[in-house]
Structure 1
């Protein structure tokens, strides 16, 4: 009698496989983490941009962890803030900051759309980009230093909330109805990938999660954290709409710009109100 073949592993359900492809797309394109992207189609892009806030949770957790390690090692709030602000830049290869600088140069040029897009593709950074990077990073470090000075819990929570808010801005920028400015590049690959209702649902989940994180230091901080995410995505939305009017759509640089704008606005909002 022949030996029966060994049982094969059960197949992965299509929904689970699609979710896994989306996570790979998100972490593989939005971080330097060694995640291999196996699919580049529209479905993977949709899942990846939907899962972008989950990337923010990991990036923010790493930022908070390094800030807390700095405090435990005897560093002051300012140095802890610098450490936390550096982590997202490192984990994204500085691409979001580069996108912010390029978008500032394009918007500040005052040129027609095609000329502005050409300026944004150049490898150098102009004066608008330099000034925008300078004040953005100063604002992020100053806000984190104030929050770490208030308590380590507030500083760590702010690092996580701002990172999630930054990636939520990416989800919203990739929603249906926001076209790509160019037919090529990462912007065109993810533009209009996320259905508007799904993007709104992700936003609601992120606001609720921020409130839960803020509740670690009291109900007032829960409300402030939730409002910080709302204000952050509102600021990013203003930039997004202005960029769409100026460039005719979104680009990879615009995605980076809205992420940094959202993160900075969230940190500033968390500092307000005492």
Structure 2
């Protein structure tokens, strides 16, 4: 018997499937959203798309700001001739400077009261002290506010359209409307101050201070947002719309309260009278501002001067009541 082992028989492999791809089994439907492809934006479900971005940048919510030191220098350098070195004259400094305008008015009023007090101490009468007190603000502003009052009176009194009225206001001469307005305004200021000094120096000094602060506070309100400049150049264009409404309202409220507080030594009636004088001064300036806005299309440097003189005169006249 042959004991030689037989060679192993090769095991048959199962036949390979043809190279055709097998159909992918159907996946059960699922409520879960399919994963987004890489790089595709994901949109939250059931939420509307954002509106397209406008082609311009919206204006800032608040006016530009500058340090208060720059604002004080801007206010004193623009509204007085006191030796204050201004370092900035841009829009940011104009914003802070117009908020500090009542401080410049307080300094002018105190200087005027000091001169009136010196004359009274030297033996001068109330009328002479009143004339000096009314003259000091003109000296400390180089007469710019009085000049603005005269020019505004000429422009408004002409009865001509805005362009012609602005052209009249820009002239260097003063017409009949300006002369008459200056005459009565200065007479009213001197008469009111003489009556206040007739009581004592303290009443005259408080009157001068209240008139100065209220006059410059009227400029702060006139520089608020929404009041345009009538010309593209000049002081009006530099400060027009530089003060937000809320800031202007805060300055006005502080001014009225401050004017009332300084009258505390004179009694409750004086406190109420001083507050009413400040409110009346700001109201008179607002009426004039509204008229100038309607007739001229906005404010100018001359209009700012007219507003200051109108507010100061109104405050002094009201302080003589009672």
TM exceeds 0.5?
A: yes
- Larger radius of gyration, structure 1 or 2? 2
- Name the residue aligned to 2:202: 153
Alignment of 1:49-60 (within 5 A): 49-60=98-109
2-structure distance, mates of 1:196, 1:42: 16
Distance 1:216 1:52 in 2: 26
- For residue 63 of structure 1, the aligned residue among 104, 107, 112 is 112
Tell me if structure 2 keeps the 8 A contact 1:63–1:83. yes
- Counterpart CA distance in 2 for 1:21 and 1:185 is 20
Maintained 8 Å contact 1:153/1:217: no
In 1, distance between residues paired with 2:311 and 2:91?
A: 25
Assess if the C-alpha contact under 8 Å between 2:66 and 2:96 holds in 1: no
What value does the CA root-mean-square deviation take over the aligned residues? 1.2
Equivalence for 2:156: 107
- How far did 1:216 drift? 2.3
Tell me whether 1:216 sits opposite 2:262 in the alignment.
Answer: no
Q: Which residue of structure 1 lines up, in the alignment, with residue 87 of structure 2?
A: 38
Deviation at 1:218, TM superposition (A): 1.3
Q: 1:184 and 2:240 equivalent?
A: no
Task: Give CA deviations for 1:32-81 in whole Å, capped at 9, x if unaligned.
Answer: 11112211111100010000000011000001101111100000100010
Alignment partner of 1:249 is 2:298: yes
Compute the displacement of 1:17 (Å).
6.8
Deviates more, 1:150-159 or 1:100-109: 150-159
Q: Which residue of 1 aligns with 2:61?
A: none
Contact 2:66 2:92 in 1 (8 A): no
Stretches of structure 1 that go unaligned for 5 or more consecutive residues are 1-15
**Residue matched to 2:14:** none
Q: 2: distance between equivalents of 1:17 and 1:226?
A: 30
Runs of 4 or more off by more than 3 Å in structure 1? none
Q: Does 1:203 align with 2:252?
A: yes
Correspondence for 1:118 among 157, 162, 167 = 167
Residue aligning to 2:320: 271
Aligned residue for 1:179, secondary structure, equals: coil
- Answering whether residue 64 of structure 2 is matched by residue 19 of structure 1, we say no
Secondary structure of 2:147's aligned partner: helix
CA distance in 1, matches of 2:258, 2:74: 23
Counterparts of 2:189 and 2:134 in 1: how far apart (Å)? 7
Structure with greater helix share of residues: 1
Aligned counterpart for 2:126 among listed residues 59, 77, 80: 77
